[in-house]
Structures are given as structure tokens and as C-alpha cells.
Structure 1
Amino acid sequence: MAAISSTISAYYNKFVNTIKARPRNAAITSTALALAISLAWVVQDFHDWKAFGTGGTPPTWAGYWRMTKIRVNRRIHTLLQLGKDDLIDASTLSASGPKYLDPDNIPVRGGKRPQLVSRTMPQRQVPYKSDAIEPGVAERVSDMTAIFAARYSDILDLKPSKTEGGSADAIYAKLSLPTLNERAKRDRILTTEIAHHHPSELSFHVWLSEADAKTVVEKGWGQRFPMASVDKGWTMVYAPRTMPEVDVVERIVKAGIAWVSGVVV
């Protein structure tokens, strides 16, 4: 990454010096400078996007432009609505229907919500500094889906996440389950995927009932997914920082297992 930034900087400085040496007028110089800065930003943003994981999109320039269009469209939508679609606003989620989390027994998450990466897709938080995470937390998070799959092998499969383009493992409810949620049978995007974590910063995506998603958002443990085409229960769960927070995240994932598989674990 340092080599890339150095190369961008070198080309940028050379371009700026050329402009200064042969100025025609201030307008042309300003425009050229703006274009150079924009180009440098786009190249850096492309490599940052790949580093955080691409959310299932091919890590190519074509994939990047596809995600950028989603990002721009969301900004335009926000402007037209004369306000921001606040993903931590749980008012759009229904409190009725199945619940596998008891709101009274889910504590309010301590501290501020984590900062999110500015891109709409993939939905990621800015990684915590290493000293903000207790020893052992990263290992528990990284092993969580595999442990659940092994523990409940009669109802779960562990396989590459379709929604992450195979870049992370996910737990899926078995298609043969007689208790399988009818939504999972019909959903072409999530299919029977329940949860996966993001190795780059240890957050999760979990498919919850809408009522449980509302609890998670209201209690500060996560936020809504930004794409209206995805089921409302598909929720981003923030990376845990302490062992007690991992315990809460495990309860959230278990709620997802119950919602999709129809089996309470």
C-alpha cells in the first residue's frame, strides 16, 4: 500500500509541476489540479476498498465502479429525501413478529458506535486499534461460525458466504430442515445464509427477525443494511471489543440461527 501511495504521489507532483511550468490561465490550472487530486483519490479509494473486502463483488475496477454507482445513487437518494437515511434509526423496523432476543436482557452497548467506512458497499466499520480489543476476542470471533457449525451440525452447514463472494465462511441452515423459514426458501440474495464475520475488522452480518433486528439497532449493537433489496432483518453487528461483548454477539448469532432454521439453540 505504501508503494502505491508513493507512486500516486510521484505522478501527482510531476503533473502539478508541469502545470505550473506552463500556465495558460488560472481556470485551466485549477481544473487540471482538481482532476489530478480526484484521480489520486480514486486510485487510493480503490485499493482501500479491496483491502476491506469487496462484499462479494470482484476486486476489479469494474467491480469498484459498480460499488461506486451504488454509493452515488445512495447519496442522490439521500439528497432528494432532504435528509439522511440513518441506518441506526430503528423506527423503520417492526417490533411485532417472532423474537428470539429478549430486549430486557440485552444490555445497551457501551461507548460510542464505531465509525463506518464511507462506502455504502461493502458495509464495514473502521477497525479498532489493537489496544482497544481484549486478548482472545479476535480468536473467538474468527472461530465463532465454525464452532456453531460443528456444535449444531444437524441443522447447520459451514461454507463460503455467497453474500461475501466466498471470501469468508458463513453458517447456513440446511435446506432439508422441515422447520426452515419460508423466507429463506424464497430469498434469492441471502438464500439460507445466517451469519458471517468480516476478517478485516471483525464485524458481522446476521439475518435476524425484524423484531430482533430492531432490538440490536436500538441497543447500539449494530445497524440496518443500506440496500432496500435485501431483507430488513439482514443486520450489521459491530465488532466486539471485550469477552462480555462477544457473549452478546453470540446470543445475536443464535437468534439468527433460530430465525432462519426454525430451531432454537
Structure 2
Amino acid sequence: MDTQSHRMSLLVDMDMNSLAMTLTAIILPVLTLFYIRNDYNDWLSLGPGGTPSTPFGYAKIKLLSLICLRDPLRPLSVPPHFRPQKGYLSSLPARAGKRPLVQGIAPQRQRTEKSSSDVYRSLVGSMRRLIEDPANALLERTSCFEKNSSGLFSSEPITRTCGGEVCHAHPSDGSMHMTLHPADANVVLENGWGERHPLARGGWCRKFVPREFMLIYAPRDLEEVEHAVEIISAAVWWVAGIDVKKVGSEKRDSDTRVQEYVEAQSACTACRTHACGSKAVEKMTGYT
């Protein structure tokens, strides 16, 4: 009798295991599809960016996520061959409060503490005033990185970026992307004004963005706009070799840079395959 009961118990256990395996085979794919659907919609909700808003674009970003930076707040080293070794920012106050929530790779967007429409317009106005001074040799055209918004470009870049792009702003949240001298990038990191782009790790990833590519948090008030403009000025200095706060011949940086403009012209395939200056762009003055 005990032997028969034992056999029946084994049969019941086998049936339960078989049922569990069957349920797992049915439920797991459903849960996976549900996760992918929600994750895809979350990615689309970040808005347009440098990656097409398609399933193929989503798959590309998921693959890139395997190699991106795990710590976007990790300081950058200053390579010994960089000239100059020091950056532009002499001082920058600490940003008040906690860092905002940032998500995404391409696009990378700020989810919390976004700029109001008035603050964003003030930021754009400050950027346009930099363009108005012909001595700064700056112009506005479609971002080579984003392709859906406009940004500042140097007409005579001396540091390698995508087509000489200095920075671009995101009308949807007020944040910005820009390339900075590593020392300036570290000042921004230390004082809480931004973080590194997930793909800004150098090496093969330079195909997408420079190692010094940064997300600068959206200014929350007019005082923070002033600090944002100071950081933009540092980006202009690094990419264009121009100090926008000086006048005349003093604007030009006398230090010899290692990365010359001839490299910048061939740096970004995307800038040749996307029409910079297209009318179908989200202008800096827009706000969504």
C-alpha cells in the first residue's frame, strides 16, 4: 500500500511539473512581449532624436545599451596630448537640489524638472545672441547629432565634432547636448549641472558621439540660464577656439589644438547623409 501511494505521489508530482512547464512556456513569451511593447512605447515617448522612431531603431538602441556607460557621472581623464590641459570654466556653483531623472540613449531626454516655456525662450535667446556676433563665427542649422532640432555650429571648428556642432537644445525639455573639454566636463559633473552621454566612452563609440559629449540639465529659472550660457561658452571655446566673452583678436584661442578641422570634416557620416539646414526641423524657439 505504501509503495502504491508513493507511485501515485510521484505521478502527481510529474503532472504538476509538466503543468508548470507548460504554463511557463505559455506565460513567459506573453510577459516578454508585454515588456517589449511597454519598453518600446516608453522609448517612443522620449520624442524624436538621432535614431529613427521605428522598431528597427528601437532594436538598434537596445543593442547599443549593452555597451553604454554604466556610470554617467564618472569623471573623464584628460589625455596627456590634449592642448590645453586646462579647461575654460574657472568656477561653477553647485546646482541646487537633486539631479533630474534622465532616460534614453538616442534620444536621451530629461524626464523631470524641465524648463518652462519662458525659461527655454530665454535660453534660446541667449544662444542666438552668440550667433549675432559675427566675431564668434557661429551659425544655427540642423543638429548633426539629433537631426530633429537645431543647434549652434562653428563655421571654423578646430576640435573634432560632428560637422563642427557646438551644442543643440531640446525643445521638449530644455536640456542640451554639447562637447566640452574633459576638464570642463568634470567641473559640470562635480557641480551637478549635467552628466555624460551613455555612448560617450571613446574608442569605437566615437562613431556616434565624442568621448566628451555631455547632457546639460535644463535650466529651471533665469539664474540657471546664465550658468547654462557659461557652459555653452565653454563648448564654443573647445570646439571653435573662441572666447565669446572677449572682443576682437583676443577672442581667438592661441593654444594649438591636437585635433584639427580636417579631422572634423570627416568625423561624422551622419552629417553628410542628413541635410543640415533642412526646413523640416524642430527649431530652438519651438516648445512642446
Q: TM-score, normalised by structure 2?
A: 0.67
The Cα RMSD (Å) is 2.5
Q: Which of the two has greater helix per residue? A: 1
Q: SS of the residue aligned with 2:93?
A: coil
Q: Which amino acid is 1:254 matched to?
A: S
* Structure exhibiting the larger radius of gyration computed from Cα positions: 2
Q: 2:107 aligns with which of 103, 113, 122?
A: 122
Q: 2:85 aligns with which of 97, 106, 109?
A: 97
Shift of 1:64: 0.9
**Higher relative contact order, chain-length normalized (CA < 8 Å, sep 6+):** 2
Which residue is 1:40 aligned to? 34
Segments of 4+ moved more than 6 angstroms: none
Q: SS of the residue aligned with 1:121?
A: coil
1:145–1:169 CA contact under 8 A, matched in 2: no
Q: String of CA shifts for 1:68-120, please: whole Å, max 9, x gaps.
A: 1111344xxxxxxxxx83211225456971422112xx100111111121x34
2:101–2:110 CA contact under 8 A, matched in 1: yes
Shift of 1:215: 0.7
- 1:120-199 to structure 2, matched below 5 A, reads 120-128=105-113, 136-152=118-134, 155-164=137-146, 166-174=147-155, 177=156, 180-181=157-158, 183-184=159-160, 187=161, 190-199=162-171
Alignment CA distance shift 1:64-1:219 (3 Å): same
Alignment CA distance shift 1:41-1:146 (3 Å): farther
2:182–2:212 CA contact under 8 A, matched in 1: yes
- 1:1-265 to structure 2, matched below 5 A, reads 25-74=19-68, 85-90=70-75, 92=77, 97-103=85-91, 106-117=92-103, 119-128=104-113, 136-152=118-134, 155-164=137-146, 166-174=147-155, 177=156, 180-181=157-158, 183-184=159-160, 187=161, 190-227=162-199, 228=201, 229=206, 230-265=209-244
Q: Which amino acid is 1:85 matched to?
A: R
Q: Which amino acid is 1:58 matched to?
A: P
Q: Aligned equivalents of 2:58 and 2:117: distance in 1? A: 35
Q: SS of the residue aligned with 1:112?
A: coil
Shift of 1:36: 1.8
Q: Percent identity?
A: 29
Q: SS of the residue aligned with 2:108?
A: coil
Q: TM-score, normalised by structure 1?
A: 0.73
1:173–1:193 CA contact under 8 A, matched in 2: yes
Q: SS of the residue aligned with 1:124?
A: strand
Shift of 1:141: 3.3
The count of corresponding residues between Structure 1 and Structure 2 is: 217
In the alignment, structure 2 segments of 5+ residues that lack a partner are 1-17, 245-288
Q: Aligned equivalents of 1:47 and 1:150: distance in 2? A: 40
Q: Which amino acid is 1:32 matched to?
A: I
Which residue is 1:19 aligned to? none
Q: Aligned equivalents of 2:32 and 2:153: distance in 1? A: 41
In the alignment, structure 1 segments of 5+ residues that lack a partner are 1-23, 75-83
Q: Aligned equivalents of 1:69 and 1:201: distance in 2? A: 26
